[in-house]
């Protein structure tokens, strides 16, 4: 029996089945080897492509821009930041027409307090050169405002969404109620951080008004030059709350006409 089996084995090895078996094994081995090699090649190709992109991003011309702070984490913001030269980009306005960059001041946003207005961290925002405060007659408007106190190596500007222009002597509760009936404001009521109309009014007439008086009133009286105000909203990214703010019109730099997210 053993001899018969052995003979059968030798017969099989010497027969026509062996080349088929070897060929099948070779095809499987070749396919597996090709798959591994191709996978490795694709991975390397992607790495090379990403490296090219990274190198291109590094060598693209850059320029320093003023920072416009949008949020409470101002301690980690600086006066200027280096970003891609906007002259290397093709910007179009909302009508699809090329933007004449020579007509605008450009700022880079730091922070996410304006995210509910569609402006996010690191966005470019464009403010018309030669802004005239008398043109500020429709609301809401996104405004760039100078800080009253300018500290070394800290941002000189901030971004706020203004809803009203008037006087510090106005009935602020009535003003707040009118703001909160505006259709665009109603969208804020659906967002994180909105604490209701009573809280908004109480915070405005309390903390925000007291902050304004502390900064601008002298001997309990507001100078005429600081009576002209705008009331805005911001989203406090640390406390996670939407609140009003009061700013003198004299510190307004201009309104944001365009904003863009530029990705490397």
* Tens-digit pLDDT profile for residues 20-66: 444 455 555 545 554 555 556 556 655 655 555 455 455 668 899 99
Tokens 């009118």 -> residue? 178
Q: Which pLDDT value is given to residue 20?
A: 47
Predicted confidence at residue 84, as pLDDT, reads: 86
Q: Where are the domains of the chain?
A: 2-58, 62-260
Tokens of 176: 């707040």
Gap between the Cα atoms of 125 and 260, Å rounded:
6
> pLDDT-derived band of residue 77, with 50, 70 and 90 as boundaries?
confident
| CB-based contact 180:197 (threshold 8 Å) | yes
For 149, other C-beta atoms within 10 Å of its C-beta total 7
What span, in angstroms and rounded, lies between the C-alpha atoms of 248 and 216? 9
- Of residues 254 and 77, more confidence is placed in 254
d(C-alpha 192, C-alpha 110), whole Å: 20
């Amino acid at each position: 029996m053993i001899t018969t089996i052995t003979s059968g084995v030798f017969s099989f090895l010497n027969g026509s089945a062996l080349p088929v078996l070897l060929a099948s094994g070779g095809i499987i081995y070749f396919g597996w080897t090709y798959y591994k090699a191709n996978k490795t090649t694709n991975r390397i190709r992607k790495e090379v492509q990403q490296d090219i992109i990274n190198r291109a991003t590094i060598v693209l011309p850059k320029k320093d821009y003023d920072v416009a702070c949008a949020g409470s984490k101002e301690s980690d913001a600086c006066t200027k930041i280096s970003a891609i030269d906007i002259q290397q980009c093709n910007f179009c306005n909302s009508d699809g027409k090329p933007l004449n960059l020579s007509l605008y001041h450009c700022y880079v946003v730091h922070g996410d307090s304006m995210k509910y207005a569609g402006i996010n961290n690191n966005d470019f925002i464009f403010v018309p050169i030669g802004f005239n405060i008398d043109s500020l007659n429709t609301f809401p408007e996104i405004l760039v405002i100078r800080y009253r106190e300018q500290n070394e190596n800290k941002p000189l500007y901030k971004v706020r969404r203004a809803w009203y222009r008037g006087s510090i002597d106005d009935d602020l509760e009535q003003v707040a109620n009118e703001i909160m009936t505006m259709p665009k404001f109603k969208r804020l009521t659906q967002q994180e951080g909105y604490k209701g109309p009573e809280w908004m009014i109480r915070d405005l007439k309390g903390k925000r008004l007291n902050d304004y008086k502390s900064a601008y009133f002298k001997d309990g009286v507001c100078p005429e030059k600081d009576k002209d105000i705008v009331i805005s909203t911001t989203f406090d990214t640390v406390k996670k709350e939407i609140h009003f703010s009061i700013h003198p019109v004299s510190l307004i730099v201009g309104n944001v006409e365009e904003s863009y997210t530029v990705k490397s």
